């Protein structure tokens, strides 16, 4: 009888154990499925929120582009207005005279009725215009001169001017006048 009781007890234990394994397996599958569904719902919700945020950012970008276009249009209109004022108020009222073609020596303009651009000491003024045009035409002409001056290694370089811009330096210009 002891064997039958032991067999029955084992049978009950096996049945309870198998029910527990099956129940645990079902619960685990159920929990995994719930987690998958929740993750899917969260992904859908996140996608909807991202779409709403993207729409908001798109609207902000449109507003910024519109403001930039308006600012650019205003800046262009202002630049156009400044150019127009410059042309009409300043340039159109003045007379264009090329100074090197003007006779600065003739103070009376040979007593003609035409306007005359002249100055006392006209020869010196003409020379000033020549020197000024050299300075404007060769703005980088002193680069080598200044580099050699800083290095102070080539004394022969400074004995005579090597380009028109160096001629305008005081140490070369004064002997040129004499």
Task: Write the pLDDT tens digit of every residue in 16-55.
Answer: 777 787 788 888 888 999 999 999 999 999 999 999 999 9
Tell me what pLDDT residue 44 has. Answer: 94
Q: Where are the domains of the chain?
A: 1-94, 99-177
pLDDT of residue 52: 95
| pLDDT score for 93 | 65
Q: Quote the CA–CA distance of 92 and 150 in Å, as a whole number.
A: 47
- Nearest by Cα to 101 from 141, 79, 133: 133
Q: Quick one: pLDDT at residue 8?
A: 65
Positive or negative, the CA dihedral 24, 26, 30, 33 is positive
Q: Kindly give the parts of the chain with pLDDT less than 50.
A: none
In this structure, what token pair is assigned to residue 142?
């002193």
CA distances from 133 to 120, 152, 162 (A): 20, 29, 17
């Amino acid at each position: 009888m002891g064997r039958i009781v032991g067999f029955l007890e084992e049978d009950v234990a096996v049945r309870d154990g198998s029910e527990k394994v099956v129940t645990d397996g079902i619960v685990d599958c159920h929990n995994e499925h719930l987690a998958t569904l929740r993750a899917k719902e969260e992904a859908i919700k996140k996608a909807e929120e991202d779409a709403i945020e993207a729409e908001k950012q798109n609207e902000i970008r449109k507003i910024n582009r519109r403001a930039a276009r308006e600012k650019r249009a205003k800046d262009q209109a202002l630049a156009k207005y400044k150019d127009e004022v410059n042309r009409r108020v300043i340039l159109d009222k003045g007379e264009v005279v090329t100074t090197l073609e003007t006779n600065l020596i003739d103070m009376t303009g040979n007593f003609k009725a035409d306007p005359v651009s002249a100055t006392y000491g006209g020869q010196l003024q003409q020379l000033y215009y020549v020197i000024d045009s050299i300075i404007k035409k060769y703005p980088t002409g002193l680069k080598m001169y200044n580099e050699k001056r800083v290095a102070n290694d080539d004394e022969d370089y400074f004995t005579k001017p090597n380009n028109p811009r160096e001629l305008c330096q005081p140490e070369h210009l004064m002997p040129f006048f004499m």
